[in-house]
């Protein structure tokens, strides 16, 4: 796949039917652009949001994504949701390996790799989250941590398919803290990620989309998205307000 500009909203375990409605009305004047806009609500709202996006004629601008998925295709897995079910609801994107899934639900990089594989095999688009903790950064382990999160996925799906993966670099210390990485710091890490992939395929490194996540807001998005190796963002808290989210999506236009 070729390099794309993407702004994705991760609502996490926030929101309700009222948020779906207020988001549709707040984003109703959004215009088509080079930016792929994705909204990822919790499972119960996927279908409602998708249908309302279509009804509002926004489906050529906004797509819907899931926040996680099972690596299994079906069967006795209580509480899980499969890629087949997401396809049935016409969901196009899946966030995989968010740091909250890794730390709270103990998802390993190998399990994350299996999920990415399942997502690709189902014809869906994975957004693979990677990022170091504050302690890992302080210990100078950023590069080894990122490699340990990326390599199992490449080993699982092969380097050629890796360009179909969207990566979101989210330093854990920047998530939900209001302390975003500086644009220079984020660019430096994105450049490192692209070089790391280039060692295995220059073409994949050039084509892969690298998003930044972690306290992106209306005030810092422009500077972050102006960086050459940042292709958009994965936005948590600021995506719960249509006006802020629109500003963030606009900042990615023309990249
Ligand atoms: O998936 C989104 C990230 O975890 C960022 O969340 P945040 O924008 O609330 O810091």
pLDDT tens digits for range 220-243: 999 999 999 999 999 999 999 999
Q: pLDDT digit of tens for each residue in the chain (255 aa)?
A: 899 999 999 999 999 999 999 999 999 999 999 999 999 999 999 999 999 999 999 999 999 999 999 999 999 999 999 999 999 999 999 999 999 999 999 999 999 999 999 999 999 999 999 999 999 999 999 999 999 999 999 999 999 999 999 999 999 999 999 999 999 999 999 999 999 999 999 999 999 999 999 999 999 999 999 999 999 999 999 999 999 999 999 999 988
Q: Classify residue 119 as exposed, middle or buried by CB count within 10 Å of its CB (0-12, 13-18, 19+).
A: buried
Which residues contribute to the annotated binding site for substrate?
10-12, 176, 215, 236-237
Q: What is the ipTM of this complex?
A: 0.99
Atom of ligand 1 nearest to the CA of 176: 10
The residue whose CB lies within 8 Å of the most ligand 1 atoms, and thus the one to mutate among 68, 128, 235, is 235
Instruction: Output the six-digit token pair for 208.
Output: 């892969």
CA distance 37 to 8: 6
Catalytic residue among 107, 132, 156, 170: 170
Question: How much is the pLDDT for 191?
Answer: 98
Question: How much is the pLDDT for 255?
Answer: 83
Catalytic residue among 98, 100, 107, 132: 98
Contact 102, 140 (CB under 8 A): no
Q: Is 98 a catalytic residue?
A: yes
In the chain, what are the domain boundaries? 5-251
Say which CATH superfamily domain 5-251 falls into.
Answer: Aldolase class I (3.20.20.70)
Instruction: Please state, for a pLDDT cut of 90, what percent of the chain lies above it.
Output: 99
Query: 64: which strand partners?
Result: 39
Q: CA 158, 159, 163, 164: dihedral to nearest 10 degrees?
A: 0
179 Cα: distance to centroid of ligand 1 (angstroms): 11
């Amino acid at each position: 796949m070729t390099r794309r500009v993407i702004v994705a909203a991760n609502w996490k375990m926030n929101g309700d039917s009222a948020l779906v409605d207020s988001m549709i009305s707040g984003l109703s004047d959004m215009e088509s652009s080079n930016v792929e806009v994705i909204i990822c609500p919790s499972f119960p709202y996927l279908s409602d949001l998708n249908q309302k996006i279509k009804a509002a004629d926004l489906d050529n601008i906004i797509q819907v994504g899931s926040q996680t998925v099972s690596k299994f295709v079906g069967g006795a897995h209580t509480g899980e949701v499969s890629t087949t079910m997401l396809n049935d609801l016409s969901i196009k994107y899946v966030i995989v390996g968010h740091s909250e899934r890794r730390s709270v639900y103990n998802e390993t990089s190998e399990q994350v790799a299996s999920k990415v594989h399942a997502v690709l095999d189902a014809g869906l688009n994975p957004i693979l989250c990677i990022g170091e903790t504050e302690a890992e950064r302080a210990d100078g382990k950023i590069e080894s941590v990122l490699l340990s999160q990326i390599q199992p996925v490449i080993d699982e799906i092969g380097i050629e398919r890796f360009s179909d993966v969207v990566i979101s670099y989210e330093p854990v210390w920047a998530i939900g803290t209001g302390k975003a990485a500086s644009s220079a710091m984020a660019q430096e890490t994105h450049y490192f990620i692209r070089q790391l992939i280039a060692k295995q395929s220059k073409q994949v490194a050039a084509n892969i989309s690298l998003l930044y996540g972690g306290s992106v807001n209306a005030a810092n998005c422009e500077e972050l998205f102006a960086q050459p190796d940042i292709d958009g963002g994965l936005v948590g808290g600021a995506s719960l307000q249509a006006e802020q989210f629109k500003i963030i999506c606009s900042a990615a236009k023309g990249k």
